[in-house]
């Protein structure tokens, strides 16, 4: 007869009639990929996934990019883990299984090297006086075979989350719920965090600075149009190199102000990133934009008027 619990050596004998009758629904139910080897009296079945008795464990993974986490977002994520813990504990309240208690951990690391760890949402109430570098959310239940993890790291600009269980419905539902919570978080500036868009900005800025430098040097010649071509060509190469070099180093500092994972939690007077953004906005509005407009107008007047 068909064995109820398949042995861990990945080969077993199954009656030919039963495997023909129950092959598709049985293996579809447990999502076990098999290979069949026909012999005169039975089939050899080779399993490509480890058998766990209650089913094959399922796992979904997601990435977190270009998000600005505020206090309400962090508390909403923490509440999701707490509600998940209470839900699992309620289901296992009358179970005789061992290790049925659900564990959750919240770990917060700060820029000064300190860190705190707790399983209570109140741990997030006293973190506004420091700059947060990373956060880790973790839920484990071995009896129910359920594991949920969320990692947010501002230093390396990386975030991911995983939902793992032996029940497909649990994985799909909780993964979708966590994905919706993260999706509701405010987006970071995509133009200053996406590498392709950064390359476009670098090239446009480099071309503009190169043209401006070449125009300024061009004005130094008494009769620029009668100057030797090799000199003008070398001057153009020098301006292009300097323009792109200045653009790269200047914009790199700008991109650092917009990390892919940001925690907008600290109080205003200790949040250096927000202070630098405000300062940059004032400089751009009062000096850089008027200077660019003046250079464009001067070039247009020289060549077309």
pLDDT of residue 224: 58
pLDDT of residue 213: 84
Both 137 and 42 in a single domain? no
Both 169 and 197 in a single domain? no
Q: Is the pLDDT of residue 33 over 90?
A: no
Of residues 225 and 20, more confidently modeled: 225
The model's pTM is: 0.70
Both 68 and 160 in a single domain? yes
Domain boundary among 160, 187, 214: 187
Q: Report the chain's mean pLDDT, rounded to a whole number.
A: 78
Q: What Rg value do the Cα atoms of the chain yield, rounded?
A: 31
Both 48 and 71 in a single domain? no
Domain that holds residue 64: 58-187
Both 77 and 167 in a single domain? yes
Both 79 and 94 in a single domain? yes
Both 105 and 32 in a single domain? no
Both 276 and 207 in a single domain? yes
Both 85 and 156 in a single domain? yes
pLDDT of residue 191: 85
Both 7 and 48 in a single domain? yes
Both 241 and 216 in a single domain? yes
Domain boundary among 187, 207, 227: 187
Task: List pLDDT tens digits, range 282-300.
Answer: 888 888 778 778 877 776 7
Domain boundary among 171, 187, 203: 187
Domain count, the chain: 3
Reading the block at residue 202, the tokens are: 């670098």
HSE-CB at 275 with a 13 A cutoff on CA atoms is: 7
Both 51 and 108 in a single domain? no
Task: List pLDDT tens digits, range 93-141.
Answer: 777 666 678 899 999 999 999 999 999 898 888 888 889 999 999 999 9
């Amino acid at each position: 007869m068909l064995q109820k619990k398949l042995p861990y050596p990945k080969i077993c004998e199954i009656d030919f009639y039963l495997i023909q009758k129950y092959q598709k629904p049985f293996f579809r139910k447990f999502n076990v990929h098999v290979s069949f080897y026909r012999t005169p009296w039975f089939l050899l079945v080779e399993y490509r996934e480890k058998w766990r008795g209650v089913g094959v464990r399922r796992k979904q993974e997601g990435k977190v990019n270009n998000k600005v986490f505020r206090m309400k977002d962090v508390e909403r994520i923490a509440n999701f883990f707490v509600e998940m813990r209470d839900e699992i504990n309620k289901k296992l309240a009358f179970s005789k299984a061992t290790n049925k208690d659900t564990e959750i951990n919240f770990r917060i690391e700060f820029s000064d090297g300190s860190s705190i760890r707790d399983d209570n949402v109140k741990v997030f109430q006293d973190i506004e006086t420091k700059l947060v570098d990373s956060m880790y959310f973790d839920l484990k239940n071995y009896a129910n075979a359920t594991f949920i993890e969320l990692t947010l790291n501002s230093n390396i600009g990386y975030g991911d989350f995983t939902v793992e269980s032996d029940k497909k419905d649990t994985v799909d539902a909780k993964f979708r719920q966590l994905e919706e919570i993260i999706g509701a978080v405010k987006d970071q500036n995509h133009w200053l965090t996406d590498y392709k868009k950064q390359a476009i900005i670098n090239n446009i800025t480099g071309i503009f600075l190169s043209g401006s430098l070449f125009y300024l040097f061009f004005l130094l010649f008494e009769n620029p149009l009668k100057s030797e071509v090799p000199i003008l060509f070398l001057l153009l190469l020098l301006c292009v190199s300097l323009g792109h070099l200045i653009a790269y180093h200047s914009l790199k500092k700008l991109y650092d102000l917009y990390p892919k994972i940001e925690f907008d939690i600290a109080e205003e007077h200790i949040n250096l990133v927000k202070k630098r953004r405000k300062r940059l906005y004032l400089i751009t509005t009062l000096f850089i934009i008027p200077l660019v407009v003046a250079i464009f107008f001067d070039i247009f007047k020289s060549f077309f008027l």
